[in-house]
Amino acid sequence: MSGVIAAGSPETAVAGAAMLQKGGNAVDAVVAAAFVSFIAEIGVVHLGGSGVAHLYNPQTGNSLVYDFFSNMPGLNGTAPAEMDFSEVTIDFDATTQSFYLGRASVAVPGNIAGLCQMAADYGRLPLPTLLEPAIKLARSGLSIEPFQADTCKLLENLYTHTAGMRQIFLKDGRMIRAGEQLYIPHLADTLTQIAQEGPDAARNGRLAQAILADQQANGGLLTAADLETYQVRQVQSIRLPYHDYEILLPPPSSVGGVLTALTLKLLARFDVGQYRHGSAPHLRLLYEAMAATTRARHHWDQWSDEMPADKAVARFLSDEFVQIYDQEVRDSLNKRQPSPAIPETPSHNSTSHISVVDSDGLAVSLTNTAGESAGYVVPGTGYIPNNMLGEIDLHPQGFHARPAGQRIPTIMTPTIVLHKGQTRLVVGSGGSIRIRSAIFQVLSNLLDFGMSLKDAVNTARVHVEDGVLQCEAGYDAQAVDELEALGYPVNRWTKRSIYFGGAHSVSRTDDGRLVAAGDNRRGGAVATAVSH
């Protein structure tokens, strides 16, 4: 089968394309690519994390979201006398941010369960075949890519926290550098177990037993019941019109899907393409739409706690509710002054994305994260757990306050765009709260401004944070000056940055060709499979 894939590293993309060449479909490609990413993209994702995937089949018109994000741990368990939970501060140049790691930072992981279930439900190739590229890479090691090495260096305090991590990431007493060999002891054996046992490896197999033994001995919260009862959710997409297109977005646990939907419903009420891209009027509209979404978020947070998810989504995206913010946007544009902006708590920054479309039109959009990692390796496994319980933004009511078994919300937003029932765009992004601004700007660049996919993905982006318009290097200086003269707070970036996301994307052009574009902010790469 032929098809295209865009991902966060060459090895990830090539692994997915290889499955297409073997006769697999887009699901096979994304599963194989994801397992390789846990090695090749070790700066941002790990096997012990979780994800959200979005599927669309044009043959049937059906779409489906696989939600395998993390649950809170502790079912049928007792909190340890002393939890392994310690603070680490990371310097992001412009700011510092605290994270917590250790065994008590580990939420119930979903990667293995979710990827294996997708493969079983919709893939064509056997699981051992899908894991062959990852097992081979784990046995041989690989030359680490510059972006991944830079990210590991940024997270040095986490990636050198314990002896097991130092064995992987330190070379001659310093952090691994681009081009040096990365090798994770025991990981090949663990991946082989998964190939043989499927999701049972992480549910009650040898890997699960090793994870639990380590947790129980070292102040963790994960229990056997957490792993045994974890369920991958299959939920229906949020579907909404955008001019001549239909946008498919993930529902909760993805908060990002709901918020992106609101932004797009606002933008759909304007003729965005009438503006020159990057002009002051265009930037003002982007600012006001993003700021309005942030102001609306507190309603979502309240309603999602008070009512079932489907009712909260319907209320938040109702025409009556959207009209309130539409009027606010228009008032600000007419007055030529910025609307009120409020702070928004950031989300996990270490995230990666894979987009695939095969020659049958099957589309898969997968976003994955492990937080920043829990700072240790489960002994004898090469398995690096997540630190979802150690991210302040995910737990506004306090660490460990959510009840055991509850799904943790995420900003991850794997997205698919349709035109007349056919896949037009597959997109998603890493980048914390910038995920949704990256996605809707790529989407608008392609659909409203008619850019090529490469340009739509890699053109300079903006983001509103704490009322300030963050302008990535590459925007029109005169337009930014005009905006600032109207009272809009602006921060001009002198370089391109991973801050603005990593929207690796695939598109079907108007003449039916499949094209892919990696986001060069985050080491993006593409690969193509051609049927024989």
Residue 122 contacts residue 25 (beta carbons within 8 Å): yes
Distance CA 172, CA 150 (A): 17
- In sequence order, the β-bridge partners of residue 235 are 65
CB of 242 closer than 8 Å to CB of 289: no
Residue 41 in tokens: 């993209």
Sheet with 468-471, side-by-side order of all strands: 462-465, 468-471, 490-492
Residue 478: is it exposed, middle or buried by C-beta count within 10 angstroms (0-12/13-18/19+)?
exposed
Buried b (16+ CB within 10 A) or exposed e, 397-421: eebbebebbebbbbbbbbbbbbeee
d(CA 440, CA 160): 36
For 41-101, give the secondary structure using H, E and C: CCCCCCCECEEEEEEEECCCCEEEEEEECCECCCCCCCCCCCCCCEEEEEECCCCEEEEEE
Q: How many CB atoms lie within 10 A of CB 140?
A: 10
> Which of 12, 263, 351, 415 is the catalytic position?
351
- Partnered with residue 89 across adjacent β-strands are 98
At 479, list the tokens.
């337009």
- Residue 230's contacts (CB-CB under 8 Å, 6 or more residues apart) are 71, 108, 110, 113, 203
SS3 at position 527 = strand
Active site residue 12: no
Give, in order, the Cα–Cα distances in Å from 199 to each of 71, 193, 207: 16, 10, 10
Cα gap 234→118, rounded to integer Å = 10
Which DSSP symbol is given to 21?
Answer: H
Contacts of 98 (CB under 8 A, 6+ apart): 87, 88, 89, 90, 392
- Can you tell me which residue has the tokens 């959207």? 322
Residue count (the chain): 532
State the residue for tokens 């930014």: 480
Residues known to be catalytic: 351
